[in-house]
Homo-oligomer: A and B are copies of this chain.
Amino acid sequence: MADSILVQLRKGALDLCVLAVLSKGENYGYEIASRLVAAVGMGEGTIYPLMRRMQNDGLVATRLVESSSGPPRKYYRLTPLGQSVFEAHRRDWQSFTGAVDTLLEDLP
C-alpha cells in the first residue's frame, strides 16, 4: 500500500527500461531482469510476460544461444520499430519528468 506509488511508476516506465537496456545491444531475459531488479526493484518473473508482449508488438526479435553455464539463453534485440518506440517513449519520459521536477523545484 505504501509503495503503490512505485508500482504505478514502474507500470509507466518498465517498457522504457527494457528498451533502454536493449538499445545498448542484444541481451537475454534473465540478465535484463537481473539488471532491472537491481535498478528499479522489478520482480524477476515480470520480465517474461513483458518480453512476450514486446515480441508480439514487434518491438524485439529473438534468438536462442547455448550457454555453458545453464540452459540456453533467449537473446532479444530491438527491431527498427522497437528502436523508434524507444525513442518516442524516452521523449515522453523526459518531458514528463521534466515537468514534475519543475513543479518540485521552485519551493520556498
Residues of A within 8 A of B (CB): 3, 5-13, 15-17, 20-21, 23-24, 39-40, 89-90, 92-93, 96-97, 99-104, 106-108
Contact = CB atoms under 8 A, between A and B. Distances in A.
Given A5-B92, A9-B9, A107 B23 contact: yes
- Binding site secondary structure of chain A: helix
State the copy count for this chain.
2
B9 A40 contact: no
A101 B79 CA distance: 22
Contact of A93 (B3, B7, B17, B100): B100
A36 B55 CA distance: 35
Contact of A90 (B6, B9, B102, B104): B104
A91 B63 CA distance: 40
Question: Would you list the 6 A-B pairs with minimal beta carbon distance, nearest first?
Answer: A8-B12, A9-B12, A8-B11, A20-B103, A39-B99, A40-B99
